[in-house]
Amino acid sequence: MKVDKKGHTTVLKETKGDLVAFIENISNQYASYKDQNLILDLSHDKKVTVKDVINFKNLAKQHTKSKKSFVIVVDELEFDEVPEYLTVVPSLLEAHDIIEMEEIERDLGF
């Protein structure tokens, strides 16, 4: 797992092709990420499915309860099939844009 912190956002990039281990790593180290907006970059793995992404449900709910953004990057996915409680985008640029919009919404009290 590669970690890149910039300002109020942390990008966690899955590098080994093992999503179960990736989820466990994030869960085990969650205390160090809980105050940051999170981007989980799964874009290098072309075999990620909607079922794989749904495995992040508990982490996403936990993170958004603390008023922080949780965005998953997967470039090849059927986005219409992703549940509404997850934010999934096809690129890192879009992930950063989503976080910026959500930060503005939180600042405005939405």
pLDDT for 45 = 87
Q: What order do you get walking across the sheet with 9-13 strand by strand?
A: 2-6, 9-13, 37-41, 70-73, 87-89
Class for domain 2-108, per CATH?
alpha beta
Q: At what angle do helices 57-65 and 19-28 cross, to 10 degrees?
A: 30
Q: Kindly report, residue by residue over 2-50, the tens digit of the pLDDT.
A: 999 999 999 999 988 889 999 999 999 999 999 999 999 999 888 899 9
Burial (CB count <10 Å: 0-12, 13-18, 19+), residue 75: middle
Query: Average pLDDT of the chain?
Result: 93
Determine contact, residues 18/45, Cβ cutoff 8 Å.
Answer: no
Query: Hey, where are the domains in the chain?
Result: 2-108
Pairing of strands 87-89, 70-73: parallel
